[in-house]
Structure 1
Amino acid sequence: MALPVYASPLERVWYFARLTICALIFLFLISPILVVIPLSFNAEPYFTFTEKMLAFDPEGYSLRWYDMLLTHPGVPTDVPRDASWWAQVWNEAQWVNAAKNSVIIGFFSTIVATVLGTVAALGLSRAEMPYRKAVMAILISPMIVPIIITATGLFFFYSNPCSVLTWTGLEADSCGRLAGTYLGVVLAHATLGIPFVIITVTATLSGFDHSLTRAAASLGANPTTTFFKVTMPLILPGVISGALFAFVTSFDEVVVVLFVAAHDQQTIPRQMWNGIREQISPAILSVATILVIVSIALLATVELLRRRSDKLRGVTGR
């Protein structure tokens, strides 16, 4: 909000002090990103700024670490980069395979999390639902409980689901291990993404005008038609926002993958973890820079969807 012309001297001082404090907090939050991005263009295999980089010498900057993402470990670098070379990159490059796994796992876990989270939010938004607060607390617990505890629980359940189901008194005559399978990783990531979908969709439903659904019912629409023709179009920005948060959660997750995934199910965060443990390379900074750009694009999309949702719900002044 702009400073009014009739503001007192004290209000002017507080106004500029507040802007300064906000700028310092913003700088504190983005300073790690500001350091990582230029270091990813370092021509030397170091995690520090070299003298040439500080002097803005072009020889101190290079795209070699981005190129390594396409050529590590066995893709040749001294051959023409034609269609066959790109096919080899697609099939053999370690970082590319990790990116493919991250996208595939993130895509399917996002679908599962979005569907289940939206259904849960619709139920929690109804005033007649009993124990809403208790159910809400349980459903969002994966984002509150330390991730290491969730990962440990998923590991023991996935390793021997039959024993766990028998212990709870359920029939478990036929069940297989989920540990080390893509299905297990997808379900684990969906578990972490569901709370974000629930919170986002619930916030959207808080301003939803339920008289619209009653009007649709009075005109003869059944519940299914009412949902897809009336409710879903109005809450769609919130659903998409929750889906984006679920995808980012899956795309950035490493702890759960370390516990429940097989050794050959490498995702980008797990590949970065292995790179830090086994062979420290500035290529990790290149991946981090790409992830930052992707995250910024997703957050910008979420903000645009939020504004569209507010516009649809008649909320102004934001």
Structure 2
Amino acid sequence: MPLMNMSNLPQSEQKWTTSAAGLPSNSDEASAAFALVDEFLRTEIEARALSFALGHGLIDFFFMSARDAEELASFQEMDRRGFKLVLDLLISANVLERDGDLIDLSARFRSVLAYRDLLEAKMWFAALVAPDVHQLFDMLLTDVPAFMRQAGVFELFRYDLCLDVTEANIEATSRWVSYTTILTAHEAPACVERLRDLNPTRMLDVGGNSGEFARRTVSFVAGLQATVFDLPVVCELGQRHVAKFAEADRVHFIPGDLRNDVLPRGFDLISFKSMLHDWPDDYALSFLQKAFVALDPGGSLLIFERAEIGVTGEGMPYSMVANLVFCLFSLRPALH
């Protein structure tokens, strides 16, 4: 059985899909899902071995049953030494375990496959940004504008390509929208379950991306209608994304550019999910002021952002490289 070329797609064609069965339903499950995924992204080399194994069908080969040396020999088409190295790295990372003459997926890794979309998306983005951290680490810490000019990751997040709805712009923008959609699908329960007590009826999600956060919110809050305000190309992708789900008739899109446009009114909940950190403080304050103007009297403003990066006694795992590249962009809670 030769190595199966399942995920060797060009980056512009890389997609992930998620299912309701693999999504957390509350904040505890959401935290546990990310912690479990990160267990298998401890070091860069182990993560790259896992990415190789997923992309070439090796994990699926083991998923069906444990394998002995003869079966493994029939699978490989690469150099024997390289194949042994991959297996050794996967065993070291607790992806695989050896029991006598058999090698099988570990029980712990089988459990993480419920979040395979999140695992693959995080590995893809970590591999994308790692060269920026490797080559420009000093610049990241000392000269952020220069880092932004030189780091390749910012060629991915091209907001200037989100204004005119063309197939080329849709293709370019879909690369990062599909990634952030997977993150949001798994992050949302950490926030939205707390909104039930507010009992909102009309939600405006500013910079709401594919509408995944709005979709997840309306699925948690009975009777809620949501509107996403974002750039035109993003809204086009969002409409295509949300149309696949039962909540499609409760999530609407208004294209616009918050730098120049006012926000629509008539909402008792306005949210900024992982959006404000993209902008300097003066822009963030301007956006918040526009939200306060648009918010109904007595309404609620929700800001959902990641905390600043901290380092524990165990150090920083490779999984954090995706956040490290944005470490100086984190929004201060005391912004005022």
How does the TM-score come out when normalised to structure 2? 0.27
Bigger strand share = 2
Q: Which has the larger radius of gyration?
A: 1
Bigger helix share = 1
Q: Could you say which structure has the greater relative contact order, defined with CA pairs below 8 angstroms and 6 or more residues apart?
A: 1
